Amino acid sequence: MIHVDIRKPLSSLCFFLLLCIVTGCESPTPQPLSADEILSSAVERTRGLKSFHFVIDCEGAFAYLTEDRSLAFGRAEGNFYTPDQVRATIRIISPGMITEMSMVALGDEYWETDLLSGEWRKLPSAGFNPATLLAPQSGFQEILLNDVSNLRFEGLQELPELPGQNLYTLSGMLGGDGLYSLSYGLIGPQPMAIRMWVDPQTFDVFRVQLDEPATSAETGPQGETTTIWQVDFWDFDQITPITPPPEN
């Protein structure tokens, strides 16, 4: 009688299955790309989106909304629907007070709430308008393609809001002239450092951070000399078209 020792093959099989289980739980390794290729794919992806939720945070040195420096930008959060629809809440900082107003932009039509009464009012035009900044063909995406220099790939990193999800991380310098014009003077015109976090599979841009040097007149409450802009994007293609606000 021939005796076959099956213990060794079974041990090898168990090890192989265990290895498959372990490696199968890990995130797939993204295909290596250059920093310029990642940026180009991210811009192309963003231009193809119909909608998204956005948050624009400003910390550090003040970014003023008015020439007399009586009102400073704090935060904007809202929804964008292509090509030029935005509904957002904007936080405004004034001496001794922080308040919020709402705005709606539908093409050339613009509404905002009164800071004191909260009532909606239709205005002929707006200064800083997130719809202009986020427009897919002429907004921030165009500036990323034309005004970024010294772009570098910093490897894979996680964001605290997306634990376990590795994102392409890019860094470089951004010329401020185009952004200064696009934001009606709110951001720029001096060059600033830029960082981006991009999904390796979809090329969705989850976060853009700008570190803008401040002038002596713009320093923050604690003497900060840099304005840190953090722009987050979520809920890609999940936003419905935006409608006009209710009439008072």
- Walk along the chain (248 residues) and give the pLDDT tens digit of each residue: 444 444 444 444 444 444 444 444 445 556 579 999 999 999 999 999 999 999 999 999 999 988 888 899 999 999 999 999 999 999 999 888 999 999 999 988 999 999 888 999 999 876 778 888 998 888 899 999 999 999 999 999 999 999 999 999 999 999 999 999 999 899 999 999 999 999 999 999 999 999 999 875 666 667 778 999 999 999 999 999 999 998 76
Question: What residues make up the domain containing 138?
Answer: 33-91+129-234
pLDDT of residue 30: 61
Q: How many domains does the chain have?
A: 1
Instruction: Identify whether 161 is part of a domain.
Output: yes
Instruction: Identify whether 115 is part of a domain.
Output: no
Instruction: Identify whether 55 is part of a domain.
Output: yes
Residue 92's CB is within 10 A of a number of other CB atoms, namely: 19
pLDDT of residue 31: 57
pLDDT of residue 126: 67
**Rounded to two decimals, what is the model's pTM?**
0.84
Whether 84 and 129 have beta carbons less than 8 Å apart is answered as no
Instruction: Identify whether 20 is part of a domain.
Output: no
Instruction: Identify whether 65 is part of a domain.
Output: yes
CATH number of the domain bearing residue 216:
2.50.20.20
Instruction: Identify whether 156 is part of a domain.
Output: yes
DSSP-assigned states of every residue in 115-177: TTT--EEEES--SS-HHHHH-TTTSHHHHHHHHEEEEEEEEEEEETTEEEEEEEEEEEEE-SH
Helix 140-147 vs helix 35-47: crossing angle, to nearest 10: 160
pLDDT, tens only, 47-69: 999 999 999 999 999 999 888 88
Instruction: Identify whether 45 is part of a domain.
Output: yes
Instruction: Identify whether 23 is part of a domain.
Output: no
